[in-house]
């Protein structure tokens, strides 16, 4: 289930991006 881990990491990255650029 490595793909799921990658998806979780991507979602976390998106959250950080949105937090930095609201």
Residue-wise pLDDT tens digits, 1-22? 567 889 999 999 899 988 987 6
pLDDT of 20 reads 85
pLDDT of 1 reads 56
What are the DSSP calls for 1-22, one per residue?
-HHHHHHHHHHHHHHHHHHH--
d(CA 19, CA 12): 11
pLDDT of 12 reads 92
Q: What's the token pair of residue 4? A: 């799921």
């Amino acid at each position: 289930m490595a793909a799921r881990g990658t998806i979780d990491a991507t979602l976390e990255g998106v959250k950080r991006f949105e937090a930095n650029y609201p």
